[in-house]
Chain A
Amino acid sequence: MPVPFIAAMLESAFLAAVAVFLLYQSSLLRDFGDSALSAGLFPAIVSAVMLLFSLALAVQNLRAYKRDGGNSPVFPDSGPGGMKRHARAILIFALAIVYTVLLPILHFAVATAAFMIVFLVFAGERRWWMVLLVAAGLTAALQLMFGVLLHVMLP
């Protein structure tokens, strides 16, 4: 079976599972003897609606596969690069997480300047003077705007 079709079916199954899980979680909320008052009533309704749409998505995928095969435009194309692209996205996400963790430890100015240098090089900037200029300039500009002018408590 073609990979895009399998990915699309797994996606609808995952969404259906999320809907069932949330439906179950909604049922655990107390109703205080009056279902209209229950905190779980409306979440349960929305979860059920989401389950219906997830199943509709699965049906749509199956019909598209029968009609057009694995190359149906219904199945999203992951674009050029495939797994390498996802790996880059995850790496950027990890970089941002590290920056967030370091913010309270190194404080805004040091953490931001260091993050900018690493990220600019990762993004493809090779001119060292530009890397230093942008990192220092942005850090100073943000410190001035948020910290000094707008009195935002920076980490």
Chain B
Amino acid sequence: MDLFSSLLSQASPDFFALVFVGSLLGLVVGAVPGLSVTMATALLISVTFTWSVNNAVALIMGVYVSGVYAGALSAIVINIPGAPSSVATTLDGFPMARQGRAAEALFTATIHSFFGTLFGLFVLMLVIEPLTSIALAFSPLDYFLLACFGLSTVGSLTSKSFIKGMISACLGVLFAFVGMDEYTGEHRFTFDIMELQMGIPLVAVLIGLFGFSEVLSTLAAGQQGSIAAAPGKFKPDFKTILKQLPLSLRSSVIGVIIGALPGTGGTVAALLAYDNAKLTVKNPKVPFGEGAAEGVVASESANNACIGGALIPMLALAVPGDAVTAVILAAFYVHGLRPGPMLLQNSPDTFNVILAGGFVAAGMMLLLGLTVVPQMAKVVMIPKRLLMPMVTVLCVIGAYAVESSIYQVVIMLVFGLLGYFMRLRGYAVAPMVLGIVLGGIMDINFRKAMNLADADEGLLHMLLSQPISLCLLGMTIIAVGINLPWSKWLFSRRGASSGG
């Protein structure tokens, strides 16, 4: 096969060494809140400017694959997602760490990130052309409905109150509107504060809601011990891995499809996969939200499978699937590559080098995940009176590092305080993050769809005449219906009556 011959032709020590260095760098930037794969890739453009294309691709793919995976490390160990796509991992990963199961959580994240990455790359290799045409067929209305479907997962992210989950999500969507409207250029909810014109920065919000609010909750309650006595001894059980594979496969499929849709990305994919896991996994050993390994499986498979998905429109159409692929696209242009419909015909070798880099990076990620990462899990043993001040400084510097701006730090602190009170009053913070991620997509595509509907024969006609729209509408209605409290009550009554 082309791929394997290409992989073998790349099997120089240099290629492997560069992927390894990239993977190590990815592990650091992915795990440290505030440092992002996007930032690291952008920095690498200047470093690799004079390198050969193959060497540059090797380094970039190493950073990309390991960086996406490494977001799970801080999510599991200290409850701060290293990247937005690891938000869903915190929901069960951190409770696992608190129960002394950090080693198990990290092992699960490593194995299923590896599986998700491989799956995404195989899909990229096999179905790049048909998947691209499906992604291209999405209209603004479809994107709006897809975002609605994503928001319908709120029910899964709120273990206690559906209403409070929806309020949290609505607030998140409203926060997404702050700043300059990209459609009309008008300022929304900025209240004449100049800094707010830039909008609410997602990374700062994430660090605040998850990281700083954890510091406030822990130290305000006067907790002195460590997060867990020890990461816990964990003996890998292949039966468990095999049992988790169908879920990993389903989540990877979701990851690839969402990844292939430009503008959506790993966060939406991971949350949708988490929602799917909650609906499909019957009787997990530990309930979801309280340390279910299945939650980590779904989230990590999906966000890593997104890598292959996001590369599909980038390579086939030169349309980046997310921020990282946008920077990678720029890096490719710098190196004289021209991603687009002619890439596969004009430069099949380059396509194979990208694939080879991805596969080798997945292997390096597995290697580092099984050897280096378990040592990092020992962070949970540090007493909270030492760990929490360190986390606070990391939160402040992490937020500052995004744009070298104090404004980001202030936003982080404010959202940290908000997150503290939200936790106290029983509001889940994950729906707010989902709202912020999806709010912009919903708003812009809703208005585009309305404009198109005005020019066409109306919104209803548009909705009913497009199979993708109809399908997404149906899925959204079903998802909302399943998550509504009355439907849960109805199902439990039906279950009780059939059982009795």
- Interface residue tally for chain B (C-beta within 8 Å): 64
Quote the shortest CB–CB distance from B35 to chain A (angstroms).
7
Known: A43-B174, A53-B163. A130 touches B443 (CB 8 A): no
Are B393 and A42 interface neighbours, CB within 8 A?
no
Nearest A-chain residue to B189, judged by Cβ = A25
Complex CA gap A57/B161 in Å reads 10
Are B386 and A134 interface neighbours, CB within 8 A?
yes
Complex CA gap A96/B219 in Å reads 13
Q: Does B302 contact A (CB under 8 A)?
A: no
Known: A46-B173, A60-B163. A88 touches B442 (CB 8 A): no
Chain B residues, Cβ within 8 Å of A76: 424-426
Instruction: Enumerate chain A interface residues (CB-CB to B < 8 A).
Output: 11, 15, 19, 22, 25, 29-30, 32, 34, 36-43, 46-47, 49-50, 53-54, 56-57, 60, 74, 76, 78-81, 85-86, 88-89, 92-93, 96-97, 99-100, 103-104, 108, 112, 115-116, 119-120, 122-125, 130, 134, 138, 142, 145-146, 150-155
18 contacts between A and B (CB under 8 A): A36-B450, A37-B183, A40-B188, A42-B446, A47-B170, A50-B171, A53-B167, A80-B221, A85-B222, A89-B219, A93-B417, A96-B416, A100-B409, A100-B410, A112-B397, A116-B393, A123-B385, A134-B386
Given A36-B453, A124-B222, A146-B397, 4 new contacts (CB under 8 A): A96-B396, A100-B406, A100-B413, A154-B397
Chain A residues, Cβ within 8 Å of B5: none
Partner of A22, one of B29, B166, B174, B215: B174
Are B389 and A119 interface neighbours, CB within 8 A?
yes
Chain A residues, Cβ within 8 Å of B167: 15, 50, 53-54, 57
Most A CB within 10 A of own CB, among B29, B170, B425: B170
Complex CA gap A50/B29 in Å reads 37
Partner of B393, one of A49, A56, A115: A115
Known: A41-B447, A78-B424. A30 touches B186 (CB 8 A): yes
Known: A39-B183, A57-B167. A153 touches B386 (CB 8 A): no
Q: Is the interface of A mostly helix, strand, loop or mixed?
A: helix
Chain A residues, Cβ within 8 Å of B177: 42-43, 46
Complex CA gap A89/B420 in Å reads 8
Quote the shortest CB–CB distance from B156 to chain A (angstroms).
17
Are A152 and B174 interface neighbours, CB within 8 A?
no
Nearest A-chain residue to B459, judged by Cβ = A36
Known: A53-B167, A123-B388. A29 touches B186 (CB 8 A): yes
Chain B residues, Cβ within 8 Å of A150: 29, 35, 40, 43
Q: Does B129 contact A (CB under 8 A)?
A: no
Chain B residues, Cβ within 8 Å of A146: 397, 401
Binary per-residue interface labels of chain B (390-432) against chain A in the complex, 1 for a CB within 8 Å, 0 otherwise = 1011101100110010100110010011001000111000000
Partner of A120, one of B174, B389, B442: B389
Q: Does B454 contact A (CB under 8 A)?
A: yes
Quote the shortest CB–CB distance from A102 to chain B (angstroms).
11
Chain A residues, Cβ within 8 Å of B424: 76, 78-79
Binary per-residue interface labels of chain B (144-164) against chain A in the complex, 1 for a CB within 8 Å, 0 otherwise = 000000000000000001011
